[in-house]
Amino acid sequence: MSIKKLLTGITAFDHISAGGLPYGRTTLISGSSGCGKTLFGAQFLAMGIQLFNQAGVFVTFEEQVEDIRINLRTLNWDIDGWERDGKWVFVDASQKDDDTMLVGDYDLSGFQVRLEYAITKCNAKRVVLDSIGSVFTEFQEMNTIRHELFKVTLELGRLDTTSIITTERTEEYGKVSRLGVEEFLTDNVIILRNVLSDEKRRRTIEILKFRGSTHEKGENLFTIHPEQAIVIIPLSAMDLKYRSSSVRVTSGIAKLDDMCGGGFYRDSIILVSGSIGAGKTLLVADFINGIKAKQERCLLLAFEESREQLFRNASGWGHDFAKLEDDGFLKVVCIYPEVSSLEDHLLNIQAIVKDFRPDRIAIDSLSALSRTSTDKAFREFIIALTSFLKHQEITGMFTVTTTLLSGGTSDTEGNISPLTDTIILLRYVEMSGEMQRSLSVLKMRGSKHDSSIRGFTINDKGINIGKPFIGVSGILTGIPIRS
């Protein structure tokens, strides 16, 4: 028999926790400074009011109440209205600037009276204590700390509330809490991390302990959105239940369609790999131009070139992006990857896709996006993005840049190659003292394809794919040898 749970209203959290927080119990949220503990607690209360009409009590031991109100108003939460309606009650237990001196033993009896009064007054079902660690600076003995915390958690349970207590920790992967006692007195422990690695931040949430209850194991990425507060990206929610279409869509190049056995599969992911100037963006332009055949929609996300540059170059290849955009078939978003985290980019892409509803999406290039994160975070981003696109049945074309003109692999390819359905290699080949371009379809999942390595040229009409290189080996290694 499973333990009854209370939906938090934080959608992805309710998924990784298998239904929310255990009902009537206390959960400890631990994390370093700035990881989002207070925001998580406030969101727990706000969602309770907005989605379930459940009143909540927010107890602050550190920040001043007015400062919290100001911060939460930025999320468009009607804190003032909820307070007037008696749905949100603040208990201000923060330290004040006075000369009060404590004499004798200190305990939380007075605080418990105030807490019970607030909970009873608004019939609260949700309570947040932020942050309990600051209270315990008043105590000298560890046993006293445990005793006082035990009384607080016991009282919260007696009042039939589901509660969150936040506390600090000094290391992202060290002790669970600063004092090392809080986690032993609560039923559940959640850890928020804000890890700095290679000068890049990575936020994760991990359910460390859910006593007597199931939950997803391991860390999940999350970001703090300016309008949605904490948004968790649960990799465990990604499933392999999406449909696979047998419908073919054109690449925009008739010869390449022939090489792929009749075009790309709809809802497939195509990776185009090549060095700088190899023709990746041109291949993307043809892919976009291919929407005209069936009047589809395409979203282009450019992370290296400006809109004007893209339109000018496309015009040089005979493609009128401006008209496609005016007709509502193309949406172009140009942005430097460094302006947001990968998690924010993912949320932005999902929002645009849901609004524009494209049939195709082109990202040029993934290598630029990979600069903003660690390898692990980038791979998680790719998994989440490809899963999302496949569920939406969108054909995706991504480009990656290799470091060598004649071949090799990019750092990015290692992360995404296993997740793609089709891989197209664009390479430079030195033949008889002349640099030539080559194109090959390395992988075409679920379909026969032409595996030859063909030369191609670029002119004002775009790409012209020629005949296979005959009697030459070693092209992809960068060392062609005539047999």
The secondary structure of 426-450 as a DSSP string is: EEEEEETTEEEEEEEEEEETTS---
CA distances (Å), origin 436, targets 184, 312, 410, 429, 474: 67, 25, 21, 5, 14
Cα separation, 9 vs 122, whole angstroms: 20
Contacts of 66 (CB under 8 A, 6+ apart): none
Angle between helices 142-158 and 109-122 (to 10 degrees): 20
Residue-level pLDDT at 122: 94
User: Letter for the amino acid at 153?
Assistant: T
How many C-beta neighbours within 10 Å does residue 215 have? 19
Q: Which of 19, 271, 369 is nearest to 162 (CA)?
A: 19
Cα separation, 350 vs 300, whole angstroms: 13
Residue-level pLDDT at 238: 64
Instruction: Give me the chain's average pLDDT, please.
Output: 87
Q: 105 falls in which pLDDT band (50, 70, 90)?
A: low
How many C-beta neighbours within 10 Å does residue 405 have? 17
Lowest-pLDDT choice from 101-110, 368-377, 420-429: 101-110
Start-to-end C-alpha separation, the chain:
71
Lowest-pLDDT choice from 85-99, 100-114, 265-279: 100-114
Residue-level pLDDT at 169: 87
Residue-level pLDDT at 298: 97
CB 97 within 8 A of CB 115: no
Q: What is the pLDDT of residues 151-196, one digit of tens each?
A: 888 889 899 999 999 998 888 887 887 777 777 778 899 999 998 8
Q: What is the pLDDT of residues 293-338, one digit of tens each?
A: 889 999 999 998 999 999 999 999 889 999 999 999 999 999 998 8
**Catalytic choice (63, 138, 216, 304):** 304
Residue-level pLDDT at 472: 73
Angle between helices 280-289 and 307-316 (to 10 degrees): 80
CB 475 within 8 A of CB 442: no
Residue-level pLDDT at 422: 93
User: Letter for the amino acid at 17?
Assistant: S
Beta-strand pair 395-401/481-482:
unpaired
Q: 377 falls in which pLDDT band (50, 70, 90)?
A: confident
Contacts of 278 (CB under 8 A, 6+ apart): 405, 426, 427, 428, 437
For the question of residue 434 being annotated catalytic, the response is no
**Catalytic choice (62, 182, 343, 413):** 62
Angle between helices 375-391 and 342-356 (to 10 degrees): 10
Residue-level pLDDT at 370: 85
Determine what percent of the chain is predicted with pLDDT higher than 90. 50
How many C-beta neighbours within 10 Å does residue 472 have? 16
Q: What is the pLDDT of residues 432-465, one digit of tens each?
A: 777 888 999 988 988 889 989 999 998 888 889 9
For the question of residue 304 being annotated catalytic, the response is yes
CA dihedral 149, 155, 158, 162 (to 10 degrees): -70
Residue that is written with structure tokens 């369609």 in the block: 257
